[in-house]
Amino acid sequence: MKYAVIACDGMSERIIHGEGVQTSLSSASIHTADKLSCSGEYGIAKTTDTVTLPDTLKANIYLMGYDPKSTFTGGSAFRAVAGGINIMQGDVVFSCKFLSLSDEEKYEEKTILSEISDLGFDEKEQIFTLLSEKLDSKIFSFGLSKYGELFLIWHEGEPNPGLLYSADEGMKTADVMPRGDFAEPLCNLMRKSNELLTGSGVNTERTASGKPEIDSILISDAGTLSQAIQFKEKYGHNGVVISPDEAVEGFAKYIGMEAIHYEDIEKDRIAEKTVDCLCSGKDYVYIHIDSPSVYSMKKDSSGKIRCIEIIDKAVLSELIDGLSARNEEYRIMFISSFSCNVNEGFITSEPVPYVIYDSRSEESSTTVYNEQKAFEAGKYIEYGTDITEYLLSSFNENKNE
């Protein structure tokens, strides 16, 4: 038996009752998902706790069968792992952003002119080389991921320094520097980065191109790696995660799964990649798709509907066709990893619709795949951490007894 999960960020929405009110799912033409709902087990699931709203990483950690409360301490550590940086237990990993500052003499009195995000990989590599050569020590070291994110690693560091995650124009550097009992070493690194970057080669090139100078790093987003049981040990299956998100990819590697990065679900042919994995030694593939939430955040209703239709055709349908052509028995879960309302552009903690289809099942009902029909089906998985185990269990046999 082969297993596949297709988890789509923000695909579902809160049900708003009223005549003519539809969600993106109920508006989309998704013939494959509808067909699976007629044959498979259909219901809703909770993919977040009752305290916090979900986000991409937390919701997908749940859906991979792990509890974010015990494994999630910030996404930076997982992004570093995905980017090929060696992170050890006890290391605290920070993401480094870049600031353009005014020219006051004292660092804390400088004004933030902008947070710079237009750096190319070559520029980041120059900054990494400069900072690592001058500032690396037994306590701190810098790392540059293959995706171009600069990290600061505090070996055996303090896991909860007071940090801001972004810097707004007009703020003073003193307002965005780390705070608390263990903050001074980090503050000192920010000051030293300013000294090193002033007049550096990378800024000479930027000035010549009319771009703002990079005057300092901003230390943000602390994360650590906690103990986690390896996926194969926990569930007994060889797994692969296919994702465009570096933190999700890094978590997959951390729990011993192979990770495949992609940028476009159609151009990168992720259904074909999934079939290849499942027919060459792997028996579980987790496909993470983030594009529905992107359209939700933009409040682009027509774009989101079109995106869902592409997922149905280019991923779900092609995956089924590919596995059937190889005469494989399989189970597929199609689920929204969290809800994101396209009209308001924000994430909610609503339960999400799911369907689990077993290739040995016969069509047993007439229905369609959307939030309302999933709710009416009456099946509810209360804890997100149970979803993987449930997929891998013999639910189909139990359902038909």
61 and 39 within one domain:
yes
Per-residue confidence (pLDDT) for residue 290, from 0 to 100: 96
Q: Which of 223, 251, 272 is the last residue of a domain?
A: 223
What's the rounded mean pLDDT across residues 122-130? 96
Confidence tier at 378 by pLDDT (50, 70, 90): confident
324 pLDDT above the threshold of 90: yes
Residue 74: which residues within 8 A CB-CB, separation 6 or more? 93, 221, 222, 223, 224
| Residue where a domain stops, chosen among 223, 252, 284 | 223
* Mean pLDDT in residue range 164-189: 87
- Say what the pLDDT of residue 201 is: 92
Query: Of residues 96 and 347, which shows the higher confidence score?
Result: 96
Rounded CA separation 395/401 (Å):
10
Question: How many beta carbons lie within 10 A of that of residue 66, not counting itself?
Answer: 22
Residues 204 and 98 in one domain: yes
Q: Specify the amino acid at residue 255.
A: I
What is the number of domains present in the chain? 2
Q: Is 75 part of a structural domain of the chain?
A: no
Token pair, residue 329, equals 């028995």
Residue 365: which pLDDT band, with cuts at 50, 70 and 90?
confident
Q: Token pair 């997908």 is at which residue?
A: 60
pLDDT of residue 396: 44
Residue 385 pLDDT: 85
Euclidean distance between CA atoms 156 and 326, whole angstroms: 49
Residue 99 and residue 237 in one domain: no
User: 8 and 51 in one domain?
Assistant: yes
Q: What is the per-residue pLDDT for 19?
A: 46
At residue 78, φ and ψ (nearest 5 deg) are -70, -35
User: Average of pLDDT values for 30-59?
Assistant: 84
Provide long-range contacts, Cβ within 8 A and 24+ apart, for 271-275: 271/314, 271/315, 271/316, 271/318, 271/319, 271/322, 272/318, 272/322, 273/242, 274/4, 274/240, 274/242, 274/319, 274/322, 275/319, 275/322, 275/323, 275/326
Query: Between residues 52 and 188, which one has the greater pLDDT?
Result: 188
Query: Which whole number is the average pLDDT over 260-281?
Result: 93
Least confident interval from 260-264, 282-286, 359-363: 359-363
Per-residue pLDDT, averaged over 211-227, amounts to: 91
Identify which has the larger pLDDT, 394 or 7.
7
Asked whether residue 84 falls in the same domain as residue 45, the answer is: no
Report the chain's mean pLDDT, rounded to a whole number: 90
Could you tell me the pLDDT band of residue 167, with boundaries at 50, 70 and 90? confident
Closest alpha carbon to 359 in 318, 322, 331, 400: 331
Q: Which residue type is seen at 175?
A: D
Beta-carbon count within 10 A of 130 CB: 17
- Do residue 246 and residue 376 come from a single domain? yes
Q: Is residue 163 part of a domain?
A: yes
Give me the residue label for tokens 């929405």. 13
Mean of pLDDT values over 285-289:
98
**0.85 exceeded by pTM:** yes
The reported pLDDT for the residue numbered 14 is 85
Give the integer Cα–Cα distance in Å for 295 and 340: 9
**What are the tens digits of pLDDT across the range 51-110?**
555 688 989 999 999 988 887 778 899 999 999 999 998 899 999 999 999 999 999 999
Task: Specify whether 233 is located in the same domain as 305.
Answer: yes
Residues 122 and 209 in one domain: yes
Residue 139 in domain: yes
**pLDDT given for residue 398 in this prediction:** 44
**379-381/41-45 β-pairing:** parallel
Percentage of the chain exceeding pLDDT 70: 93
Q: What is the pLDDT of residue 70?
A: 81
C-alpha count within 13 angstroms, C-beta hemisphere, residue 234: 16
Measured CA to CA, the distance from residue 105 to residue 31 in angstroms comes to 64
**Residues 379-389, mean pLDDT to the nearest whole number:** 88
Domain of 7, CATH number, reads: 3.40.720.10
Q: What is the predicted pLDDT for the residue at 164? A: 64
Q: List the domain range (segments joined by +) for residue 28.
A: 2-70+228-399
Q: Is residue 278 part of a domain?
A: yes
pLDDT value, residue 366: 75
On whether both 55 and 165 belong to a single domain, the answer is: no
Specify whether 201 is located in the same domain as 300: no
User: What residues does 285 pair with on adjacent strands?
Assistant: 4, 240
Single residue among 192, 223, 254 that ends a domain in this structure: 223
